[in-house]
Chain A
Amino acid sequence: MTELRVSYTLDSTLETVDSAEQTASRIAAESGFDEDVVMQISMAVREAAVNAVLHGNAYDPDKKVKLDFERTGNDLVITIRDQGKGLDPAKIPDPLAPENLLKTSGRGIFLIRSFMDEVQIRPTQTGTEIKLVKHVHGPAADVKEASQ
């Protein structure tokens, strides 16, 4: 898989959410993931962008969302940073708990964790960073493993 590193700095708008999803879909497809996995990656990125725009930056026009894609031989790594007040993943209720099943929100992080191989959420000096990793299980990784 050809290596790639690309960064976007985006406004805190709904258009950013759609743009992040579309860009993730394109890069995931170009990286050779199959259609179902492309959908999973793009949805995870969409949910992370929603968190950054809504819950992090709260649509503040002075705050930006930074979106980085890094493709290495084995992984697609996507990092989304906001400038919000921070997110404590430990405080997010389990959306699968019976008492939460009929809640109308709170499934975004759960979906992200369901769709990606690795998810790291950490506070930064200016907000929250979420790093999403999808491993490449296709031919590129196989060739590399076989040659080792």
Chain B
Amino acid sequence: MSMKTSTRQVDGVTIVDCSGRITLGEGSVILRDTVRELLSKGQKKILLNLGEVTYIDSSGIGELVSAFTTVRNQGGELKLLNLTKKVHDLLQITKLYTVFDVRDDEASAVKAFN
């Protein structure tokens, strides 16, 4: 299953519901394009819902890091929501779990944006 995203707005925060695989090639490109498009529209509070992401490779991890720094460099905020165990474990062993603001409840995650 390839990567799919859909976006919705909740209290000024753009929630990106991601599903499928964030891997080298199409998956990473879709995530990159989605974040770039949001930023171009001035939507800088981004909550990536990874609850339906089944697989992520090192390229996908790199794309998450890229999204995080790109949004931050433009004065925005990017948080992660609903990590699966696989993605959680990958972020743990790569020491990125503490870099990202990781949430498991959508309502409180939305409130956590400044």
Give A contacts to B, CB under 8 Å.
14, 17, 39, 43, 46-47, 50, 54, 95-96, 101-105, 107-108, 110-111, 114
Asked if B42 CB lies within 8 Å of chain A CBs, one says no
Contact B63 A47 (CB under 8 A): no
Contact check, A105 vs B24: say whether CB atoms are below 8 A apart.
no
By DSSP majority rule, is chain B's interface helix, strand, loop, or mixed? helix
Please report the number of residue pairs spanning A and B whose Cβ atoms sit closer than 8 angstroms. 45
- Are the CB atoms of A105 and B99 closer together than 8 Å? no
Task: Name the residue on B nearest A15 (C-beta).
Answer: B25
- Is B58 within 8 A of A107, CB to CB? yes
Q: Are B59's CB and A50's CB within 8 A?
A: yes
Nearest chain A residue, comparing its CB with the CB of B24: A50
Q: CB within 8 Å of A: which residues of B?
A: 23-25, 57-59, 61-63, 65-66, 68-69, 86, 90, 93-96, 99
Residue contact B99 to A101, C-beta cutoff 8 Å: yes
Query: Is A108 within 8 A of B65, CB to CB?
Result: no
User: Can you list 11 residue pairs at the A/B interface with Cβ under 8 Å?
Assistant: A14-B24, A17-B25, A50-B24, A50-B58, A95-B94, A101-B96, A102-B68, A102-B69, A102-B99, A103-B65, A105-B62
